[in-house]
Structure 1
Amino acid sequence: MGKGYNAAIASNPYIVGSFACIGGGLFGLDISSMSAVLNNNAYKNQFGNPGSNAQGAIVAAMPAGSLVGALIVSYLADKIGRKKSIIISGWVWVVGSILQCAAVDRGMLVVGRVISGLAVGLASASVPLYQSEITAPAIRGRIVSMQQWSVTWGILLQYFIQFGCSYINGVASFRIPWGLQMIPAIILSLGMLVFPESPRWLMDNNREEEALTILADLHGGGNADDELVQLEFAEIREQVHFERTEGAKSYLDLIKPGIFRRVGLGCALQMWSQLSGMNIMMYYIVYVFQGAGLTGRRGNLIADSVQYVLNVVFTVPAIIYIDKWGRRPLLLAGTLLMGFWLMLVGGLQGGFGEWGVVDGAPVWVITGHDSVTKGVIVCSYLFVCSFAITMGPVSWTYPAEIFPMRVRAKAVSVATATNWLFNFALAWAVPPGLATIAYKTYFIFGTFNFAAFIHIFFCFPETAGRTLEEIEEVFNQGHVFTAWNIKRDVGKKTLKDVVGKETDSQDHDYPEKA
């Protein structure tokens, strides 16, 4: 038995894969911890009534920290393991939450958000990495996509806590929710102690027996002789042998032929997920509905909460069917739908809105058109549903499974860092954008979605149902702009194929890890 984890828990791949998702929930907690206070007078008074640029900077502080955290994973996950990286992220989050909860001015709040962002960056890169390496191919997409579901739950739970606390007078209305968000991080860090390490990382660190035991517990009901277990074990060992003969791991490996293309795909998908416009609908939904003509703080909070509930509910079909439907169909359908709904929102805003003043600030707002206001709200809901069932889960799953083990930690961290780079830029840019070009902001993001559709159609091959090692065969074909033409059975191996290769190379010494 591997040291440090409970065998009964480790035998259930769903429990092992889904518990780490609490790390994704931290990101969700942050989103609604900000969106729900944008029209909270106690928050405004405490932090000097921040304008659009200042509020954008406060929100952007978290993804700025996340960018750094995601890059750190490239070293940390290889050095100390995937499991310990997740544990560390939880404790860093606790420190950031304490600073936010106690913040007395913008500077202290920003520092707390940067530190919390560091934790989110660590978790957002290491959790999908851990999940992809510890789950069987048949359920890998389902488990990794639960990362996105945990984000939606974090958003929802924190939002309702904020909603309840909004009836409290004074600074407790936002300090209590900011303090309570430490609890999931503590549960994550303590709970991960009883879960196993990634068998692929163990194999890469000369702990083969422990790796085989974990694979048997997770994928073979404890039977180390199970065919799937033996196939995975043989493939991982073959891959480790090959990668060690290639020399020490380096960032330069990311620009080698065959790898650079995949780094580009991983980074691009994370970029497109941010440019889809979901940032507007999550961080700044208060501003969106305000511009639609929805007035009254309570009515706005209720409308927002419906959106967050839909986000949770419509992620479920993706979790259940992502491995059956495939990654490409979901991405292609999602980008088209999201582009359509955003164009419609922009058209309604542009056709029926005008500049007005809300809460002392200039706002492009729809007034006197109740049906149009409802139409904008419905389109916003449909946009979120489209993201939740397509781009949301797949944007975490795809980058976590397309890289060889040799560069997986570094490549996933770079791809995730791209997510946070664009998250940072958009979190800061959207409030000034809505305050200056108003409804045209939606046209910009709608166009991004249509551009993403074209890129995905030509360049993103299907990866569903393949082991991480079989995906190597898919990308080794060299097809760059003909991704639609790669069949699902390409790269499939049997135990005989892998064992045959090992027999051919058994005269070679197994290189030690440097």
Structure 2
Amino acid sequence: MQFQIRGTPIGPMSLIVAVLASMGGFLFGYDTGQISGIQEMDDFVRRFATEFDPNNSTPARDFKVFNDWLIGLIVSLLSVGTAVGCLIGAPLSDRIGRRWAMFWETIIFDIGVIIQVTSFQAWYQVAIGRFITGIGVGALSAAVPLYQSETVPRQIRGALVATYQLFITLGILVAYCINIGTRSLDNSGSWRIPVALGIAFSTILGVGILFCPESPRWLMANDRADEAYRAVAIVRGTKPSDSNPWVEAEYAEIVSNVEADRKVKAGSWRDCFRPQHKVLYRTLLGITLQAGQQLTGANYFFYYGTSIFTSVGLSDPYVTQIILGAVNFGCTFLGLYVLERFGRRLPLIFGAAWMVVWLLVFGLAGTVGDSTEKSFGTLMIVAACLFIVGYASTWAPGIWLFCGESFPRLTRAKQAAIATLSNWVWNFLIAFFTTPITDSIQFKYGFVFASANFLNFFVAYFFVYETADLTLEAIDEMYNDPACKPWTSRSWVPAGFTSRKDMVQNKDVDVDSDVVKVPDSKAGQWRSKPDPITGEETDTTRKAPETKVEGA
């Protein structure tokens, strides 16, 4: 079974791979969203807050409040764990494969959840549990985009890899909805239920991913030729025995690049910082873009939205959080279209400019006006929603897509881990320092994020290359073309082609050529495709250009 997208056959397994693997993003979004509401629940405050506020007249809380630094620590330790996890995720996925790495990472996540739900009075047990769940989430954040970009066909790679971000937003929205459903409970179920449900969601990923094909690029690199060919066929919706020309064309390019890679040693962490072939350039750009994604200010609303909108006098800030979460989720669908229709580069440029405008409106409304008045509170909510429209449709999915497709194969997993580490470090800093900062400067914090997005605009314009519609191997070739600059990269195509449209239609490979190699019945052995007329095999093979070999 298969269907046609942009003139190329795609199998249902491509969608299953994208959706199921993206549950790793759902887990991160769910943990992000749940803590925003949980920290305001009476039973949670009564059990884990450490200070007494004589001005608090709520008997259910016994006059307890959270110290600004303590709640910042509880919230942000998830990010510390993710920073550790993303460094573990890269070598683990290289060693045991992308699927099994994700399976074990869900087990780590579950352990952290169990530690949290068995907490009674010790705030540090909750914090430790969030740290451990963070390790699992961080490792998944390194493995999932890598697995998706290596597995799904390039014609739909942008949309399907971006489903990771879509599921982050879905996780946030689901957490908000569960929080509003349990907040009225007058016991620990109000916060234990949202936390414990994380195990159910992780089980979907941990078990389901084992029924998906492994990354064909990883299989080929580990001498599992027949399995690699089968994986390519499955995601294209055909049988391996069909000798489908689309499958053979894609498979041939994987073969040639893996063979070229075998001539050099596997990339080390140090190789990620070598200037040759713009490897260092891409590492530093990945670090900068992942930091920039956090500095957009989105998690300011997602982590502390309930507290923010409580401070402007809204009667039910939980409802406002659901509105923001729904806008975030819905506009990520827009992002899937935008990234496929307009590429990667332009959405990042215009998205940054859009977010600058609405963060300035948010900051001005909260600073110049009376934020406790309904009109100003409404303006702040509208500004926050329109900011999220820009974030969810550009920088949110676009940066994960960049990390999935912009690095060379030999160091791809490690470079993705380093870039993702930057994301989690800045995630931690924002989560930890937001409460004390907002206590000091209030809504002027919006101006800080507006300035960061102004810098994001220039980074996107002067440094980001357009990678849409190119194979992972062609992307590497583009970076190694000295004549190609970021601002001219939209028109770049490999030598011999006139446009990227030709490549999308698979004209970049002569699928009837006798140089296309197919696997022999014995795993790890190769034979050239027989000539369609004589039936004779040829020793001619497709060789990767020298510019594709990293670390040589």
Please tell me the residue identity of whatever aligns with 2:261: E
Please tell me the residue identity of whatever aligns with 1:442: G
Instruction: For 1:466 and 1:422, locate their aligned partners in 2 and report how far apart those are by CA, in whole Å.
Output: 30
Instruction: For 1:242 and 1:350, locate their aligned partners in 2 and report how far apart those are by CA, in whole Å.
Output: 59
Matched, 1:228 2:232: no
TM-score normalised by the chain length of structure 2: 0.84
Corresponding residue number in structure 1 for 2:260 = 242
Asked whether the equivalents of residues 142 and 321 of structure 1 are also in contact (C-alpha less than 8 Å), the reply is: no
Asked whether the equivalents of residues 216 and 232 of structure 2 are also in contact (C-alpha less than 8 Å), the reply is: yes
Which ranges of structure 1 fall in alignment gaps of 5 or more residues? 1-8, 354-365, 507-514
Matched, 1:37 2:38: yes
Please tell me the residue identity of whatever aligns with 1:20: A
2:118 to 102, 120, 124: 102
What displacement does 1:295 show? Answer: 3.3
2:327 to 286, 293, 310: 310
Asked whether the equivalents of residues 30 and 168 of structure 2 are also in contact (C-alpha less than 8 Å), the reply is: yes
TM-score normalised by the chain length of structure 1: 0.90
Corresponding residue number in structure 2 for 1:295 = 314
Alignment of 1:164-175 (within 5 A): 164-175=181-192
1:406 to 410, 418, 424: 410
What displacement does 1:386 show? Answer: 1.3
Bigger relative CO (Cα 8 Å, ≥ 6 apart): 1
Alignment of 1:12-27 (within 5 A): 12-27=13-28
Corresponding residue number in structure 2 for 1:495 = 509
**C-alpha distance after superposition, 1:255-312 (max 9, x if no partner):** 1222111111212111110000001110011232234x2333xx11111111111111
1:486 to 485, 489, 506: 489
What displacement does 1:479 show? Answer: 6.0
Matched, 1:264 2:271: no
Instruction: For 1:85 and 1:472, locate their aligned partners in 2 and report how far apart those are by CA, in whole Å.
Output: 26
What displacement does 1:11 show? Answer: 5.5
Please tell me the residue identity of whatever aligns with 1:216: A
Matched, 1:216 2:233: yes
1:150 to 160, 167, 175: 167
Q: Secondary structure at the match of 1:196?
A: coil
Corresponding residue number in structure 2 for 1:194 = 211
Q: Secondary structure at the match of 1:259?
A: helix
**C-alpha distance after superposition, 1:388-426 (max 9, x if no partner):** 111111111111101111111111111111111110111
Aligned-residue identity in percent: 33
Corresponding residue number in structure 2 for 1:91 = 107
Please tell me the residue identity of whatever aligns with 1:405: R
**C-alpha distance after superposition, 1:198-246 (max 9, x if no partner):** 0000000011111011111212522553333222212111211222212
**C-alpha distance after superposition, 1:35-90 (max 9, x if no partner):** 01232121111102322111111111001000000001121011001111111111
Asked whether the equivalents of residues 342 and 446 of structure 1 are also in contact (C-alpha less than 8 Å), the reply is: yes
Tell me: CA distance 1:505–1:280, structure 2 relative to 1, closer, same or farther (3 Å): closer
Instruction: For 2:107 and 2:465, locate their aligned partners in 1 and report how far apart those are by CA, in whole Å.
Output: 37
Please tell me the residue identity of whatever aligns with 1:237: V
Tell me: CA distance 1:281–1:505, structure 2 relative to 1, closer, same or farther (3 Å): closer
Please tell me the residue identity of whatever aligns with 1:439: F
Instruction: For 1:287 and 1:179, locate their aligned partners in 2 and report how far apart those are by CA, in whole Å.
Output: 23
Give the root-mean-square deviation of aligned CA atoms. 2.0
Worse overlay, 33-42 or 137-146: 33-42
Worse overlay, 244-253 or 76-85: 244-253
Please tell me the residue identity of whatever aligns with 1:118: I
What displacement does 1:324 show? Answer: 2.0
Alignment of 1:83-482 (within 5 A): 83-104=99-120, 105-219=122-236, 221-222=238-239, 225-256=243-274, 257=276, 258-291=278-311, 293-296=312-315, 299-353=316-370, 366-367=371-372, 369-478=373-482, 482=485
Asked whether the equivalents of residues 473 and 490 of structure 1 are also in contact (C-alpha less than 8 Å), the reply is: no
Asked whether the equivalents of residues 131 and 144 of structure 1 are also in contact (C-alpha less than 8 Å), the reply is: yes
